[in-house]
Amino acid sequence: EAKKQGGSKVVVYNDTINIKNEEKLRIETRLRKAIKEEKIEVYYQPKINAKENIITGVEALVRWTDEELGFVSPDKFIPVAESTGLIHSLWELAMKKACFQVSKWNEGRLEPLNLAVNFSPKQFQDSSRLIKQVVDILSESKLSPAYFEVEITENILFDHSAETIEALEKLRNYGVSVSVDDFGTGYSSFSYLKTLPVDNLKIDRTFIQDIQEDYSNSEISEAIITMARGLRLHVIAEGVEEEHQKEFLLKNGCYHMQGYLFSKPLSKQDFERFLKENY
Ligand code: C2E
Ligand code: MG
Ligand code: MG
Ligand code: MG
């Protein structure tokens, strides 16, 4: 039947679309079940102040290994969750687990850990519900808003309505901070940033990877660090994998870092071991 519609290109194209839809549907079905059964895990990646050599907090990252599909990367299932509406219950599950966990870790610490959670732009479509959920979960888990950080990608700030900006302002008034994730990959407008309700910039790891041994290819990272300082924003570098990248960042006044050089995202148990052994 596809052949009748015209050449082999059409057949290949249709097959690709069908496989994609089929895969998406399978992910959706299995993910729905996994969320319901709470079979989604949260991993924790340390955020380090490399100047002081202390841990300042963690980023919560969801992990899902399905009985049928095996390990599925967040880059694959988060878009499915976003397009099917599952993102709300996925976020709620991850948020609860992470807040209760970090609150528990903080009981035994002199310097409490910050917790950063990724938020999807879709969640801001019903912002009053979202704000209520954040407030409720933080108070139930007894995690102070001062130690909580919302991570959003920069496009949300430029694509979205006044309602999103207002929601972020409300969250900040409540005491949480706002970070722009993957900074530099979207429609960054440096001058616009000044008026937006944000506290931190996370330099995307593509720029960090561009920092070469000879320091010749690092203008963008340098520019972001300088700009952030001018705007009085905190800056953190993502995806720091190599010692020379760390040295470059320290030299340029960016002390906060996250990446495999320090640690990969860790399960609860592995993170506890990491804390004990290092910080
Ligand atoms: P992200 O928020 O930018 O998270 C950082 C990603 O970079 C994580 O991938 C982390 O494992 C990876 N990473 C950290 N350090 C390094 C490094 O040194 N080198 C390299 N190559 N990679 C590093 P992950 O966990 O696969 O997550 C991918 C993306 O999925 C996240 O990017 C985030 O946008 C999204 N995501 C993860 N968990 C959630 C969640 O709970 N909610 C939402 N909405 N999105 C999430
Ligand atoms: Mg993030
Ligand atoms: Mg990022
Ligand atoms: Mg990302």
Instruction: State if residue 182 touches ligand 1 by the CB under 6 angstroms criterion.
Output: yes
Q: Whose CA is nearest to atom 38 of ligand 1?
A: 61
Question: Cα 252 vs. chain centroid, distance in angstroms?
Answer: 24
Residue nearest to atom 33 of ligand 1 (CA): 118
Pick from 201, 219, 217, 209: nearest CA to 256: 201
Ligand 4 center–CA 162 separation, angstroms: 24
Taking Cα atoms as reference points, which of 174, 177, 178, 103 lies closest to residue 132?
A: 174
ipTM of the complex: 0.97
Give the closest residue (by CA) to ligand 1 atom 11. Answer: 265
Q: Which of 97, 55, 78 is nearest to 263 (CA)?
A: 55
Cβ–ligand 1 contact at 221 (below 6 Å) = no
Task: Check if 263 has its Cβ closer than 6 Å to any atom of ligand 1.
Answer: no
Tell me if 74 CB under 6 Å of ligand 1: yes
The residue behind tokens 């290949």 is 12
Q: Are 105 and 99 in contact (CB under 8 A)?
A: no
pLDDT of the residue at 185: 84
The predicted structure's pLDDT at residue 2: 42
Q: 259 in ligand 1 pocket by Cβ < 6 Å? A: yes
Contact by Cβ (8 Å): 184, 204 = yes
Question: Tens-of-pLDDT digits for all 279 residues of the chain?
Answer: 444 444 444 555 566 667 688 899 999 999 999 999 999 999 999 999 999 999 999 999 999 999 999 999 999 999 999 999 999 999 999 999 999 999 999 998 999 999 999 999 999 989 999 999 999 999 999 999 999 999 998 877 766 578 888 999 999 999 999 999 998 887 766 777 877 899 999 999 999 988 877 666 688 888 889 988 888 999 999 999 999 999 999 999 999 999 999 999 999 999 999 999 988
Q: Which residue carries 């991993």 as its tokens?
A: 43
Residue nearest to atom 25 of ligand 1 (CA): 61
CB contact at 8 A, 93 and 150: no
Q: What is the model's pLDDT at position 6?
A: 45
CA distance 204 to 181: 7
**pLDDT for the residue numbered 82:** 95
Q: Of ligand 1's atoms, which has the minimum distance to the CA of residue 81? A: 44
pTM over cut 0.90: yes
Whether 260 lines ligand 1, by a CB cut-off of 6 Å, is yes
Pocket test for ligand 1, best of 99, 117, 118 (most atoms within 8 A of CB): 118
Measured in degrees and rounded to the nearest 5, phi and psi for residue 108 equal -100, 15
Calculate ∠ Cα 101-78-273, nearest 5°: 30
Question: What is the predicted pLDDT for the residue at 190?
Answer: 72
Q: Closest ligand 1 atom to the C-alpha of 241?
A: 18
